[in-house]
Amino acid sequence: MNKKEFLKRVKENILVIDGAIGTMLQSHIPKGTCEDHANLVAPEVVIDVHRQYADAGADIIITNTFGANRVKLAEFDLQDKVKEINTEGARLAREGAGEKALIAGSVGPTGKLIEPLGDLGFDEAYEAYKEQASILAEAGVDLFIMETFSDLKEARVALMAVRDSSDLPVMISMTFKDDFTTFTGTDPITAANVLSSLGADVIGVNCTTGPEPMLEVLGRMALATDKPLFVEPNAVIYGHGEEGSIYHVSPEEMARFAQRFVDIGANITGSCCGSTPEHTRELKKAVGGRVPLARSVQPKLRLSSRYQTIEVGSDQPFCVVGERLNPTNREDLSGELSEGKISVAQDDAKSQETQGAHLLDVNIGVPGIDEPLVMKKVIRGVETASRLPIAIDSVSPQAVEAALKEVSGKALINSVTGEEKSLNTILPLAAKFGAGLICLAVDDDGIPQKAEDRLRVLKKIVAEAEKYGIPRENLICDCVTLTVSAQQKRAQETLRAIELVKSELGLPTILGVSNISYGLPDRTLINSTFISMCMAAGLDAAIMNPGDTRMMETVTAASVLTVRDKNSQEYVKAHVKKKKKKKKKTESTVMVSDEDKLIYRAVVSGDSEGVGGLIEKAVNSGKSAQGINDNILIPAIEEVGKKYDNKEIFLPQMLLSAETFQAAFQVLEPHFDIADAKPMGTVLMCTVKGDVHDIGKNIVGLFLKNHGFKVIDLGKNISAEVILEKVREYSADVVGLSALMTTTMTEMPKVIELFKKEGITAKVMVGGAVVTKKYAKEIGAHGYAKDGVSAVETIKNILSLS
Ligand code: B12
């Protein structure tokens, strides 16, 4: 369907999307395969489900192709059926819906995480999504609906691929928890900003929760985008009220919520898991035909990391862009970057965030390095170390592209000039990746001396950007700072240029200020004076060193005088903070040596590459493996847990820390003292079904191995049935079960029950952070231990060996 026509419809009338289809298909799907396969093996059933929803009044029917991308289908060995499953999916939906509804081609996540959290590369993901979307478009769907994305990075690449596959309208939603963030820490404003910039036509929220929390999610999205919104809550809510309970949202209740969604700005409503055609019928009755709210959001430069969005402009706080991550005159950084290492860059990122930067400029221009490759690495490192959005600062279009693929949110490109070459290479990238863009007042003739000429160059860049479809709100102008030591009037030209850009182009402005003082003594005095003059002229952002106290204090003070800091709130806050800092004594540290601290820090910050070398160094210096594990690694991963609890970090960082722990442990493992090996019995170790935490289980396994037991590690996420099979296969004496979550510890009694039923005599020992001695007794386990050392004692008791 034509995009314009669809958007007109969506803005004129509330539309209703169909509901869940999985439960209705389940009994018809062959064992071990997926719902999408039903398109081939049970087409009549699929048609019937679509028909029921169309009859119930759905305006949009979603194809049964949610998991029909190559990567996901490969899990079921169906990767060769991508074409058939999607083509059939479109046909069956059309047949079921007839002329009653539009057909939306469903595109869902791959089930894998994009690098570095997982092993799926940008290009592979892009190709898989493009393949699926092209097939669906060819099979005649009217639009696309992309649902249930929890990782912004995957949503980005998926959206780009689907968007690039045809001109059809694209709806995309992410899934949020009760705390209004996705599982990987993205908030609704950030999701809406990033997806909107990448060309989504309708943006929304679906699944995970019932309707209540979605009111808030939708409301927040409405602050960041004026694109139409859609919402699909679950009709089944697990753990509602008390743990283990299940709550069903009735069709009538869902319809009442739908009215509230429409009141706050939704254009399309539907329902997700657990819903039925009855829900659709009630929704249609309640909101079908209503006129959506007319919403508008002020266009602004909004930049996002995975975790947050900042706004840049005259009615916003002054934006400090941290300039430290730049190898010019930095031997430490350039040395590391030329070796492909990133720990100094990560430290720079972290410290600039603490010092008050809002955005991080990333420049890795070291001669002779593979810039795209190093850029990709550094962006990964910076995104792990900090929560700030990124400005990509490079003259190499290849490096800019590598960075744009790698970032998780909406980055700022630093920069495009008026030179033909720059316009031809950078503008297409800014358009394709929906990035923000610094327009630099330089062209093929160099830097114009006069303010009017700089404005002329900037006007040309803006006009060119418009030709590529780059929205004006993505642009910010740099009027260029030239040093005053040679020609004093240069400062005045820059100030006039800022004023001209503001009045004639109406765009925000940015400046790298420190050049102004080159060649003069006491540079920060000149720099800070200049920045306050620039702010008075209307400057909105500066690329500067947030560690320079004088500059930062000037920005804070000038923000009061230019009324950017409303009611002087930030100024007062900074004053109080300064006073507190003076009082604060230096904290004592628990780590014994600097090396210990480096290992601890590597785990907490997720530096899996550097940690192995540090462990080796520590072992070579005579430290015991046991000591390193107990006094450094375990406290470090516990610190990670605390940070996760306090929402200082999110799943992506926790994952990288866990990987770092594993990398460290791998190097440490051969150095544990091995006790006299005499065969003491066979132990099967595993983490129970639904649980992927295996760090603790691995440690316990190692302790047992070191005390003479034969340990067979079954891995993680292991079902009771597989454990039973393996216990028989290995004639194990003991099975060690690990669980780290309240939701998975309930798998333990299932194993014990199954053993009883099958007459298995092997003993069961349980453990893991959530498991207690009392719980172990209640479920009839033979033993419990709180850690590796006591696990050895416990197992000896169980087997009467001690
Ligand atoms: C690292 C980590 C992860 C890593 C795991 C990587 C890996 N390969 O293990 C990743 C990032 C993948 C992860 C994912 C998730 N995690 Co997590 N994770 C943690 C974290 C920070 C540390 C766990 C750990 O390794 N501890 C260190 C080890 C050494 O301790 P341990 O496992 O307890 O093991 C010791 C003892 O318990 C005992 N032991 C362990 N097993 C056994 C077995 C036997 C037989 C015996 C005798 C003894 C024994 O001995 C061990 C050695 O001393 C904890 C927070 C915390 N403070 O515990 C959260 C935590 C466990 N995770 C949690 C959650 C919710 C999740 C996710 C659902 C996150 C999400 N929102 O998506 C997913 C779950 C995915 C899944 N289906 O399993 C919650 C669980 C809440 C709960 N009580 O139910 C925690 C507590 C964080 C929190 N506060 O929310 N997580």
Task: Give the three-class secondary structure for 20.
Answer: coil
36 lines ligand 1 (CB under 6 A): no
At 592 the pLDDT is 60
Element containing residue 772 per DSSP (H, E):
none
Query: What SS3 class is residue 173?
Result: strand
% the chain with pLDDT above 70 = 97
- Sign of the CA dihedral running 28, 31, 33, 35: positive
Task: State the closest ligand 1 atom to the C-alpha of 744, by its place in the atom list counted from 1.
Answer: 84
- State whether the beta carbon of 699 lies less than 6 angstroms from ligand 1: yes
pLDDT given at position 626: 84
**Ligand 1 contact, 645 CB (< 6 A):** yes
Mutating to test ligand 1, I would choose from 646, 694, 716, 740 the residue with most ligand atoms within 8 A of its C-beta, which is 740
Question: Residue 99 Cα, ligand 1 centroid: separation in angstroms?
Answer: 51
The tokens describing 184, both together, are 């990987």
Please give the C-alpha separations between residue 12 and each of 145, 175, 288, 622, 783, in angstroms, as whole numbers.
20, 26, 11, 74, 65
Pick from 599-613, 672-686, 687-701, 715-729: least confident: 672-686
- For ligand 1, is residue 714 a contact (CB within 6 Å)? no
Q: How far is CA 714 from CA 354, 683, 687, 723, in A?
A: 43, 10, 8, 8
With 0-12 CB in 10 A as exposed, 13-18 as middle and 19+ as buried, what is 439? buried
76-131: per-residue pLDDT in tens?
Answer: 999 999 999 999 999 999 999 999 999 999 999 999 888 888 889 999 999 999 99
The arithmetic mean of pLDDT across residues 161-189, rounded, is 96
pLDDT confidence band for 676 (50 / 70 / 90): low
Amino acid 552 reads M
In sequence order, the 6+-apart residues with CB closer than 8 A to the CB of 15 are 9, 59, 60, 267, 268, 269, 288
d(CA 385, CA 345): 9
Buried b (16+ CB within 10 A) or exposed e, 245-255: eeeebebeebb
Cα of 740 vs centre of ligand 1, distance in Å, is 5
Does residue 768 have its Cβ closer than 6 Å to ligand 1?
yes
Tell the residue nearest (CA) to atom 49 of ligand 1. Answer: 767
- Tell me the residue type at 763: K
Q: Does 545 score more than 80 pLDDT?
A: yes
Cα angle for residues 182, 184, 186 (degrees, 5° grid): 55
Lowest mean pLDDT, pick from 31-35, 357-361, 535-539, 546-550? 31-35
- Residue 282 scores a pLDDT above 70: yes
Query: Is the C-beta atom of 722 inside 6 A of ligand 1?
Result: no
pLDDT at 590 over 90: no
Q: Whose CA is nearest to atom 27 of ligand 1?
A: 696
Say how many Å lie between the first and final Cα of the chain, rounded: 75
Query: Measured in angstroms, how far is the CA atom of residue 177 from the centroid of ligand 1?
Result: 19
- Output the CA torsion sign for 273, 274, 280, 282: negative
The span from the CA of 678 to the CA of 706, in Å, is: 10
Q: Which amino acid is at 205?
A: V
Give me the pLDDT at residue 705, please.
82
The finding on whether 695 has its CB within 6 A of some atom of ligand 1 is yes
Q: What is the pLDDT of residue 240?
A: 60
Q: What H or E segment, with its residue span, contains residue 110?
A: none
Q: 185 in ligand 1 pocket by Cβ < 6 Å?
A: no
pLDDT score at 583: 63
Over residues 389-409, mean pLDDT: 97
Per cent of the chain over pLDDT 90 is 76
Q: pLDDT band for position 588 (50/70/90)? A: very low
> According to the model, what pLDDT value does residue 243 have?
56
Q: Is the dihedral of CA 555, 558, 562, 563 positive or negative?
A: positive
**Ligand 1, atom 38, residue with closest C-alpha:** 787
Helix (H, G, I), strand (E, B) or coil at 143: strand
> What separation in Å is there between the alpha carbon of 764 and the centre of ligand 1?
20
Q: Whose CA is nearest to atom 32 of ligand 1?
A: 696
- How many distinct helices (H) and strands (E) make up the chain? 32, 25
Residue 650 — pLDDT band, cuts 50, 70, 90?
A: confident
Task: Kindly give the distance from the C-alpha atom of residue 593 to the centroid of ligand 1, in angstroms, as a whole number.
Answer: 28
pLDDT confidence of residue 574:
87
Ligand 1 site, residue 789, Cβ cutoff 6 A: no
The sign of the dihedral angle between the CA atoms of 263, 267, 273, 276 is: positive
Task: Give the residue, 576 or 363, on which the prediction is more confident.
Answer: 363
CA-closest residue to ligand 1 atom 40: 768
**CA 182 to ligand 1 centroid distance, Å:** 19
Residue 740 CB less than 6 A away from ligand 1: yes
Give the residue-averaged pLDDT of 154-158. Answer: 98
Q: Based on the number of CB atoms within 10 Å of its own CB, is 678 exposed (0-12), middle (13-18) or buried (19 or more)?
A: exposed
Ligand 1, atom nearest to 743 Cα: 84
Confidence of residue 767 (pLDDT cuts 50, 70, 90): very high
Cα(641) to ligand 1 centroid in Å equals 8
742 lines ligand 1 (CB under 6 A): yes
Nearest ligand 1 atom to alpha carbon 654: 11
Quick: pLDDT tens for 494-538: 999 999 999 999 999 999 999 899 989 999 999 999 999 999 999
Q: Is the CB of 210 under 6 A from ligand 1?
A: no
Q: How far is the CA of 668 from the centre of ligand 1 (A)?
A: 20
Gap from CA of 702 to ligand 1 centroid (Å): 18
pLDDT at 23 over 80: no
Number of Cβ within 10 Å of residue 626's Cβ equals 16
- For the chain, the average pLDDT equals 92
Answer whether 700 contacts ligand 1 (Cβ < 6 A).
yes
pLDDT in tens, 24-72: 887 777 777 789 999 999 999 999 999 999 999 999 999 999 999 999 9
* Res. 764: pLDDT tops 60: yes
Higher pLDDT, 488 or 125: 125
Ligand 1 atom closest to the Cα of residue 742 is 84
Taking the CA of residue 651 as reference, the ligand 1 atom at the shortest distance is: 11
The CA 658 to ligand 1 mean position distance, Å, reads 9
Nearest-atom number in ligand 1 for the CA of 736 is: 45
- Residue 498 to residue 535: CA distance in whole angstroms: 9
From 208, 693, 712, the mutation candidate for ligand 1 (largest count of ligand atoms within 8 A of CB) is 693
Q: Ligand 1 center to residue 741 CA distance, Å?
A: 7
Res 336 pLDDT > 80: yes
The pLDDT score that the predictor gives to residue 327 is 94
Residue 406 CA to residue 398 CA, distance in Å, equals 12
Q: How far is the CA of 739 from the centre of ligand 1 (A)?
A: 8
State the closest ligand 1 atom to the C-alpha of 739, by its place in the atom list counted from 1: 41
Which segments of 441-512 does DSSP mark as H helices, in order? 451-467, 490-500
DSSP states along 310-368: EEESTTSPPEEEE--S--TT-HHHHHHHHTT--HHHHHHHHHHHHHT-SEEEE----TT
CA of 207 to the centre of ligand 1 (A): 25
Report whether residue 654 contacts ligand 1, using a CB cutoff of 6 Å.
yes
Cβ neighbours of residue 33 under 8 Å, at least 6 residues apart?
A: 76, 78
CB 747 less than 6 A from any atom of ligand 1: no
Does any ligand 1 atom lie closer than 6 A to the CB of residue 788?
yes
Q: What angle is formed at CA 122 by the lines to CA 118 and CA 127, rounded to 5 degrees? A: 120
Residue nearest to atom 11 of ligand 1 (CA): 655
Instruction: Give mean pLDDT, residues 213-225.
Output: 96
Collapsed DSSP state (helix, strand, coil) of residue 9: helix
Quote the pLDDT of residue 740.
92
Does residue 585 surpass a pLDDT of 50? Answer: no
Which secondary-structure segment (H or E) carries 156? Answer: helix 152-165
Rounded to the nearest angstrom, the distance between the alpha carbon of 642 and the centre of ligand 1 is: 12
Question: What is the model's pLDDT at position 445?
Answer: 94
User: Which ligand 1 atom is at minimum distance from the Cα of 177?
Assistant: 71
- The answer to whether 135 and 107 are in contact (CB under 8 A) is no
**pLDDT exceeds cutoff 50 at 589:** no
